[in-house]
Amino acid sequence: MTAGSRRRSHGPLLAALTALVVAVGCAAGGVGESGPQEPREPAPRQSSRPAAPASPETETTRADGTTSVAEFKSDIDDAVTIAERYWGAQFRSSGQEFRPISRIVPYQREGEISCGGQALPRNNAVYCSQGDFIAYDVNWSVAAFRQVGDAFVFYLLGHEYAHGIQIRLGIRANFTIQQELQADCMAGAYLGDSVRDGTLRLDAGDLDEFREGLLAVGDDPDQPWFAEGSHGTAEQRTDWFFRGYERSLDACNLR
């Protein structure tokens, strides 16, 4: 996936995605002390998954060219810039002022960043409404970037950014899963629209990277859909992401 004039070559996708270190646990309302209508952060699912690499610079990489920490940072920056432009334009077109999410904060250690008084765990990414920031475990995110590809970074950022937009729009779903699947749809819309208007260019394999990433972040099949912290099965998350991707925000039930 390419923004602006940068180009990057892609090799073949991994045949199978193994042990991806991804939960994409993210809270619409932040973690802790946020009241019953703001879903709490689900515990990161790391029991059967390897820990993210301690040193991203030396981790073995997949052979698609999207491997360095510098490339990761550049993709995060692009994803943020494009999200700000995209949502700014959406808000202005409906006559509303837009305030970008105030900060994007990488972290490495549990407890390094808190949201609403609660320490953020490793292997996670969140939007925190108290403080209006996105925080992500950089080692975990780089590992996912290497395993899935650069498209995953745009999805991850797009999903968390969507939670900030939900707050700005005053959207509070009854169940976590509704808030989460809508955020997937909004992430899809932000990416699909950005591809359609030429802001982003897809490289070979990017759509498969989205699918791979979404498969990896689905809830366990035995998790009740109504449980606090449910994000949706891989099938549901894929379905909602591509609804937004293909049909834009009209598919996301924003009003």
* Tokens encoding 226: 């109504």
* Tokens encoding 179: 């808030």
Q: Is 200 in the site for Zn ion (CB under 5 A)?
A: no
Site for Zn ion (CB under 5 A): how many residues?
3
> Which C-beta is closer to Zn ion: that of 67 or that of 182?
182
Can you name the residues that pair with 137 across neighbouring β-strands?
107
Measure the CA dihedral 161/165/167/169, to 10°: -170
> Which C-beta is closer to Zn ion: that of 53 or that of 121?
121
Q: Which residue is nearest to Zn ion (CB)?
A: 26
Q: Is 212 in the site for Zn ion (CB under 5 A)?
A: no
3-state secondary structure of 85: helix
Q: Is 185 in the site for Zn ion (CB under 5 A)?
A: no
3-state secondary structure of 254: coil
> Which C-beta is closer to Zn ion: that of 86 or that of 241?
241
Q: Which residues contact 104 (CB under 8 A, 6 or more apart)?
A: 76, 80, 133, 134, 135, 136, 157
Q: Of these, 20, 26, 120, 189, which contacts Zn ion (CB under 5 A)?
A: 26
Q: Of these, 64, 71, 180, 206, which contacts Zn ion (CB under 5 A)?
A: 180
Q: Is 41 in the site for Zn ion (CB under 5 A)?
A: no
Q: Can you tell me which residue has the tokens 């924003």?
A: 254
Q: Is 144 in the site for Zn ion (CB under 5 A)?
A: no
Q: Is 165 in the site for Zn ion (CB under 5 A)?
A: no
3-state secondary structure of 125: strand
Contacts with Zn ion in 106-125 (CB under 5 A)? none
Residues forming the site for Zn ion (CB under 5 A): 26, 180, 183
